[in-house]
Structures are given as C-alpha cells and as structure tokens.
Amino acid sequence: MSKYSEQTSRSTAWPAPAKLNLFLHVNNRREDGYHELQTLFQFIDHCDLLDFQVAQDAKLTLHSNLGNAVADSDNLILLAAKSLQKYSGTDLGAEIWLDKRLPMGGGIGGGSSDAATTLVALNALWETGLSKEELMQIGVKLGADVPVFINGLSSFAEGVGEKLISVKPTEYWYLVLTPDVHVSTAAVFQDPLLPRDTPKLDLEVLMTSSWQNDCQELVCKHHPQVAKALGWLIEYAPSRMTGTGACVFGQFEKQQQALDIMAKLPPQMTGFVAKGTNISPLELRLSQL
C-alpha cells in the first residue's frame, strides 16, 4: 500500500514555473502543418502553485482561483491527471488546488507548466514510478512545451519542440511585462505573414549569436499593447518577446537594476521581476520528498 494512501495530508506548494524563450526561430512549415523550430527555454522563479491531496477513489477535483475561466474538459491539470491515471493504471485520485499567478496566453508556459507539475507531483504522490521519459511521452500529447517543464533543465529545443538538449545560459534577472491581451499561438502559426525561413544553425553558433524571436514583429503588428510594452522596455535593456507573446522581457545583470526600472512602469503597464534559473523550481521541490 502506498505510504500516501494511509493519510489525507495535503502536499503543498508544488511550483509550476514560467519559462522564457530566449530566442525562437521558425525554420519551415512541414507538410503536416507543424512548424520546425529552434528555441532556447530558460525557467524563471515566478510560478503558479499547486497543492495535492491523494484520494482513495479515482475522483479528481480541482479548486482554482480562476473560477470558471477554463472548462474542466479543457483544463490541462485535469487532463494531465487523467492521462497519468490511464497510463499507470492507478485507482487513486486527487483533490488539487491551483493558485494561478502566471498570466494566461502570455507565452510563458503557464498551462503547460501546470500540466507538467501535475504529472510530476502525482507520479510521486501516487507512487506510480514512471520515469521522466514516460512522463514526457504523456506530456507531449497535452502540449508541445510540457516535456521541457517535466525535464526540468534549461534546454535548446528543435524539431516541433520535442528534441531537447540541456544547456546553461547565463542566469540573468528579468523584468517581464504582461500586456493585458491573450495571444493565440494557433493564430500566430497559421498567419501567412509569419516568417518561416530562418536558417537552421548549429547549437554552438546559436549560443554565441544575437538572439531574436521570429514571431515578435507579427504579434506586435496585431497587438498594439505588446508593441507598446516592448517599445517602452527596450529603452532600458536588451528586450524581446517570449514565445508567441504577449509577455516581453528585459535582461539585467542585477536584481536591483530590474527593480529600479519596474518602479518606472507607466500606470497602465504591469510586470514582475524574476531570476532566470537553469534548474526548474519543480526539480528542487521534487527533491524535498
């Protein structure tokens, strides 16, 4: 019997960290409609938080400060838990609490990270004993970014995002601005004006080149809020958009530099300061068990 099955204690503060795409290159579109990419993921220490309590039946219940913003049938946390139940054959369930702190549709991986944390935490708490590779196989069916959060290390990714190589970019401090707009990843990749011809480069070349986001110009064109935030931030630091937006980030050597610039934010802009980290906060939480 699982050591967790005899107790009803709540396992708390499982982080679902945000990520930044330090660069994002779109190389081509395949015949199946998916895009070949090259991108560099780094975690930051700004996270959603999840609590889990193991249930003796297979029932899954989610409590969230989002209210009914996302239907249960579309919720990646519940879909991840159900996928793990099915794959592992466990008859256990869980009550789950989500403290949502990351903006939705911001390009920093909130939903994917929540799904990854659910898979990692419940694999431990249910004692289903799956390897990271197996969890990543489950995760990629939920979203292309889920495996990098399960892997837990800053990574260079290519293909459609499934080929990961662990890397150690500099752990800068970042000021992340969060424009109040939801950018549809699907819409960005379906747009005929999206550049799709950035040449593929070797990792060694990419790590020493200037970095860009091939989606940035298109998103700024369609979403003035993103363009405005980026235009403001770039006056103070090297700045880019992450993922398909809407969040943009500026890079700083020291925390205080980022805090000083955040203090100058115009009233209509919002953001936060976070530290880049090449080991996910989720990895550190898992090691505490």
Q: Do you know the residue count of the chain?
A: 289
Same domain, 20 and 61: yes
Residue 258 CA neighbour count, 13 Å, CB half: 21
Query: Is the confidence at residue 199, as pLDDT, over 90?
Result: yes
Assess if residue 284 is contained within a domain: no
User: One of 45, 145, 254, 260 is an active-site residue; which one?
Assistant: 145
Same domain, 100 and 242: no
Same domain, 158 and 240: no
Instruction: Give just the sign of the alpha carbon dihedral 111, 84, 43, 37.
Output: negative
- Domain CATH number, residue 43: 3.30.230.10
User: One of 19, 100, 114, 214 is an active-site residue; which one?
Assistant: 19
Segment 17-23 shows an average pLDDT of 98
Give the pLDDT of residue 141.
93
Give the pLDDT of residue 162.
67
* pLDDT tens readout for residues 52-70: 999 999 999 999 988 776 7
Query: Is the confidence at residue 242, as pLDDT, over 60?
Result: yes
pLDDT category of residue 1 using cuts at 50, 70 and 90: very low
Choose among 123, 51, 132, 133: nearest CA to 80.
123
CB 79 within 8 A of CB 152: no
Question: Per the structure, how many domains does the chain have?
Answer: 2
Q: What is the pTM of this model?
A: 0.92
- Domain CATH number, residue 200: 3.30.70.890
Segment 117-131 shows an average pLDDT of 98
Give the pLDDT of residue 144.
86
Query: Is the confidence at residue 2, as pLDDT, over 70?
Result: no
Which structural domain, as residue segments, surrounds residue 27? 11-167
Same domain, 181 and 266: yes
Give the pLDDT of residue 156.
96
Segment 235-243 shows an average pLDDT of 97
Same domain, 203 and 121: no
Give the pLDDT of residue 72.
74
Active site residue 19: yes
Same domain, 121 and 57: yes
Q: Report which of residues 26 and 1 the model is more confident about.
A: 26
Assess if residue 260 is contained within a domain: yes
Active site residue 200: no
Assess if residue 282 is contained within a domain: no
